[in-house]
C-alpha cells in the first residue's frame, strides 16, 4: 500500500536538494523558496499520516497549532515542533520576495542570511518528519 506521508517527505527532500543546489550556485532566492516548499510539504506529511484534511494553502501553521495537541508524535518531533514552526514562519515571510525577486526590491543578502540560517535546520526537521511519516 502506498504511504502518502512518506511520498510527501520524499517530495520535500527533493525540494531540499533543489535548495542546497541553489545555495551552492549563489541563487539564494531559489534556495529560500525551495526551503519553504520543503518544510511546507514536510509538515503536510503529518496531516497525511494522521488523515487530517487540510486546505491547499502555504501557511498551515494555524491548522498545525489547532490539531497538534491531539496528535501523538515521536518525542524528538514533539520537542522540536515550536522551533520547526518558527523556522517555517520565517521562510513563509520571505517566500513571496524569493519567488518574485524580479519585481521586488529585496536585498539578496537578506535571502542569503535566511538561507544560511535555515538550511541545516530544515534538513534536521525533514529527518524528524520522515521518522514520523514512517512510523
- Cell 529527518 identifies what position? 127
Measured distance CA(68)–CA(81) in Å, rounded: 9
Half-sphere exposure of residue 98: CA atoms within 13 angstroms, side-chain side: 27
For the ranges 1-5, 53-57, 66-70, the one whose mean pLDDT is highest: 53-57
Half-sphere exposure of residue 81: CA atoms within 13 angstroms, side-chain side: 17
CATH fit for domain 4-134, picks 2.60.40.3880, 1.10.1060.10, 3.40.50.1970, 1.20.120.330: 1.20.120.330
Nearest of 127, 118, 135, 119 to residue 48 by alpha carbon:
135
Whether the pLDDT of residue 1 is over 50: the answer is no
Measured distance CA(88)–CA(80) in Å, rounded: 12
Element (H, E) at 44: helix 28-49
pTM, entire model: 0.92
Residue bearing the bigger pLDDT, 75 or 68: 75
Q: What is the rounded average pLDDT of the residues 83-91?
A: 97
pLDDT digits (tens, 9 = 90+) for 28-50: 999 999 999 999 999 999 999 99
Instruction: Supply the pLDDT for residue 94.
Output: 94
Instruction: Supply the pLDDT for residue 79.
Output: 92
Amino acid at each position: 500500500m502506498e504511504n502518502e506521508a512518506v511520498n510527501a517527505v520524499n517530495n520535500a527532500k527533493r525540494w531540499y536538494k533543489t535548495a542546497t543546489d541553489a545555495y551552492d550556485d549563489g541563487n539564494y532566492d531559489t534556495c529560500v523558496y525551495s526551503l519553504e516548499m520543503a518544510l511546507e510539504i514536510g509538515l503536510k506529511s503529518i496531516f497525511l499520516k494522521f488523515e487530517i484534511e487540510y486546505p491547499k494553502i502555504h501557511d498551515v501553521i494555524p491548522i498545525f497549532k489547532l490539531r497538534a495537541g491531539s496528535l501523538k508524535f515521536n518525542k524528538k518531533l514533539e520537542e522540536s515542533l515550536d522551533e520547526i514552526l518558527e523556522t517555517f514562519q520565517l521562510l513563509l515571510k520571505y517566500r513571496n520576495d524569493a519567488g518574485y525577486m524580479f519585481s521586488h526590491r529585496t536585498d539578496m543578502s537578506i535571502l542569503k542570511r535566511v538561507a544560511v540560517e535555515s538550511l541545516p535546520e530544515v534538513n534536521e526537521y525533514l529527518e524528524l518528519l520522515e521518522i514520523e511519516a514512517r512510523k
